[in-house]
Amino acid sequence: MGAFVTEVPLRWSDMDAFGHVNHARTVTLLEEARASLLFTEAERRGHAGMSEGLVVARLSVDYRAPVDYRMGRVRVSLSLRELRRSSFVVDYTVAAGGKEVVTTAETLMVPYDLRAGRPRRLTEGEYSFLEEWVREPAAPDEERRIA
């Protein structure tokens, strides 16, 4: 399957003093996109367990162009890589205002048992769901174009 694509609306509170989406609010927009895939879409397909415990273990964001609040919304494409039973990486490409890439990011996600207070392993169903969104490694030329 290809990337999961969702649109996230921009809010007035996302704006900084220059009319751009604040860098920290961009992380919130990524979180909303991630929740659309890992919670909403997963639950729609019968895998509600992920909404009971996933944590971000690492976050990396590259801001490539400013996002003007007046753009109204951003389009976020999400795919996965390094899928393991105990962790996976979510890759994000954010587009807005006619620009193909305004932000790229990645988060290392770890399934977590909130009651036990420790990491857990993905269930078979969760793993199967996540496999649908795994992106094949890009060719070296493709990696250069994205950057």
Q: What pLDDT was estimated at residue 13? A: 67
Model confidence at 16, pLDDT cuts 50, 70, 90, reads: low
Q: What is the pTM of this model?
A: 0.85
CA dihedral (26, 9, 133, 143) in degrees, to 10, reads: -50
Domain boundaries, the chain: 4-135
On the question of pLDDT at 77 being above 90, the answer is yes
What is the mean pLDDT of the segment spanning 123-141?
80
As a whole number of angstroms, the distance between CA 38 and CA 51 comes to: 7
Q: What pLDDT was estimated at residue 93? A: 93
Q: What is the pLDDT of residues 84-96, one digit of tens each?
A: 999 999 999 999 8
The CATH homologous superfamily to which domain 4-135 belongs is Hotdog Thioesterase (3.10.129.10)
On the question of pLDDT at 145 being above 60, the answer is no
Largest Cα–Cα separation, the chain: 47
The set of residues, in sequence order, having a beta carbon less than 8 Å from that of 118 and lying 6+ positions away, is: 112
As a whole number of angstroms, the distance between CA 37 and CA 108 comes to: 15
What is the mean pLDDT of the segment spanning 117-132?
92
